[in-house]
Amino acid sequence: MTERKLAILQIAQGLFMEKGYTATSVRDIAKSAGVEPASLYSHINGKEELLDRTCFEMAEKFLTGIEEVNDIYFDAAQKLKMAVDTHVNILTNHIDAAVVFQRDWRHLNEVRRSEFIELRNAYEDGFRVIVQNGIDEGLFSEVDVKFAALTILSSLNWIVEWYDPKGKLTASEIAANLFNFTFTGLKK
Amino acid sequence: MTERKLAILQIAQGLFMEKGYTATSVRDIAKSAGVEPASLYSHINGKEELLDRTCFEMAEKFLTGIEEVNDIYFDAAQKLKMAVDTHVNILTNHIDAAVVFQRDWRHLNEVRRSEFIELRNAYEDGFRVIVQNGIDEGLFSEVDVKFAALTILSSLNWIVEWYDPKGKLTASEIAANLFNFTFTGLKK
DNA sequence: CCTACCGATCGGTAGG
DNA sequence: CCTACCGATCGGTAGG
C-alpha cells in the first residue's frame, strides 16, 4: 500500500467514524483528501475497499493478539488480564478504525461479511478458552462460558462509544479497571 | 398515532435494524408496507420522523424505568438488580427499536441529537446514583463511579448484538446472569 | 490527478 | 392511496 493510499484510508476511517460508512460519500472522502472524486479511483477500487480493509485489518490485529495470549502458559487470570490489555490497546491505538470495525462491518458484501463473522467468532473463541481454563483451574466460578465471554467482550467493546484520547484515563488505566471489574465485580 | 402509522413505524424499525437507518430508503419502507413511496407521506412527515420517534420513545422507556427503580428505597444491590432487569426487559421486548436506538441516534438532526444525548446522560446518571449508593452503604467496593456505571451499561447494551428471541436464554435469565456477573465477577 | 459525464437512486412534492 | 415527477446526490467510468 502506497503512502498516498494509506493516507486516503485514514481519512476515510475518520469520516466513517464520524458519519458512518453509508452516510459518507466518495465526494466527502475526496474533499477531505483535497482531490476530485474521480482521482480517488487511481488509488482504490471503490468505496467498499476502504471499509473492507478497515474491518479485516482490525480483525487480524485482534486475532493475532488473542493467539499470542493463549500461546503463553500463564494461568487464566493472568491470561485474561493480558487479553483485556491487548484488546484495549488495539482499540485505543486505532480508535477511528475500531469504531468502523464494530459498527459498519454489516455493510460488507455478503461473501466478505461471512468471512468477517468467522474471524470474529474465532476471536470470541479465544476468550471462551480463557474462561474455560479459569473454571478448570478453579480460579473462576462455574459460569456459562459463552455468556461470560460475550459479557467480557461487551465491556471491552463499548469503550469505543466513550473513549477520548484526551480524557483523563489512559489506555492502561482503562484496561486495569476493566480487568478488575470483570474479575472481581462490584461486591465489596 | 393511528394504527396504520404504528404499523409503518414498526416496519421501518425492522428495516432500520437490518440495514441501518441510512441504508434504508423510503422506497424500502413503502415496499414492505405494500404501498407506493408517496403514500407514506400521508402518515409521516418524512423518514427522519421514524428515526426520531424510535429513539425518543426508547429513551423515555429507559428513563421511566430507572426513575421507578431509584424511587424505591431498597439497598443498592437490590436496586442494581432491578435496574438490570428493567433494562434487559425493555431491550428484549423491543429489540428492533433498541438496535436503532443504540446505533442510529447519531443520524438525528443536530437539535434532536443534543436532546437525545441529554436523556441518555440522565439515564446514565441513574446508574451512577446506584453505584454511589452502593459505595456509601458499604455494599460495593470503592470503584470509580462513572467508570463502573459505564461498564455496567456496556454489558447491558451489547445484548442487542446477539440477543435472539428464539435463543435458549430467556430475558430474565439473561438479566440474572448479567447481575451476577456485574456484582460478583468471574473470581471464585 | 483532472474535466466531463453516466445511469441509478435518493427523499420528497403536486395534484388528484 | 395513486400517478407522475422534481432537483439533488450517489458510486463510478471514459479519456486524457
CB A97 within 8 A of CB A6: no
In a domain, B4, yes or no: no
Q: Pick B139's closest partner by Cβ from A22, A131, A188.
A: A188
Can you tell me the mean pLDDT for A148-154?
A: 97
In a domain, A74, yes or no: yes
Residue where the block lists cell 477531505: A32
pLDDT at residue B73 above 90? no
Q: Which amino acid would we find at residue B108?
A: L
Q: How many domains does chain A have?
A: 1
Can you tell me the mean pLDDT for A83-97?
A: 98
Q: CA-CA distance, A188 to B142, in Å (whole number)?
A: 8
Q: CA-CA distance, A186 to A180, in Å (whole number)?
A: 9
Q: Pick B141's closest partner by Cβ from A134, A162, A188.
A: A188
Asked whether the CA dihedral A107, A113, A119, A120 is positive or negative, the reply is positive
At B113, the pLDDT band (50, 70, 90 cuts) reads very high
In a domain, B163, yes or no: yes
In a domain, A149, yes or no: yes
Task: Provide the grid cell at B102.
Answer: 443504540
Q: What is the pLDDT of residue A73?
A: 85
Q: What is the pLDDT of residue A119?
A: 98
Work out the percent of chain A whose per-residue pLDDT is above 90. 98
In a domain, B21, yes or no: no
At A11, the pLDDT band (50, 70, 90 cuts) reads very high
CB B104 within 8 A of CB B16: yes
pLDDT at residue A20 above 90? yes
Work out the percent of chain B whose per-residue pLDDT is above 70. 100
Q: Please name the nucleotide lying closest to B41, CA to C1'.
A: C12
Provide the shortest C-alpha distance from residue A2 to chain B (in Å).
31
In a domain, B141, yes or no: yes
Interface of A with B in 114-153 (CB under 8 A): 131, 134, 138-141, 143-144, 147-148, 150-151, 153
Q: pLDDT tens digit string along B19-58?
A: 999 999 999 999 999 999 999 999 999 999 999 999 999 9
Q: Which residues face A177 on adjacent strands?
A: none
Residue B158 DSSP class: T
Q: What is the CATH number of the domain that holds A129?
A: 1.10.357.10
In a domain, A121, yes or no: yes
Can you tell me the mean pLDDT for A18-25?
A: 98
Domain extent for A97: 51-186
At B16, the pLDDT band (50, 70, 90 cuts) reads very high
In a domain, B36, yes or no: no
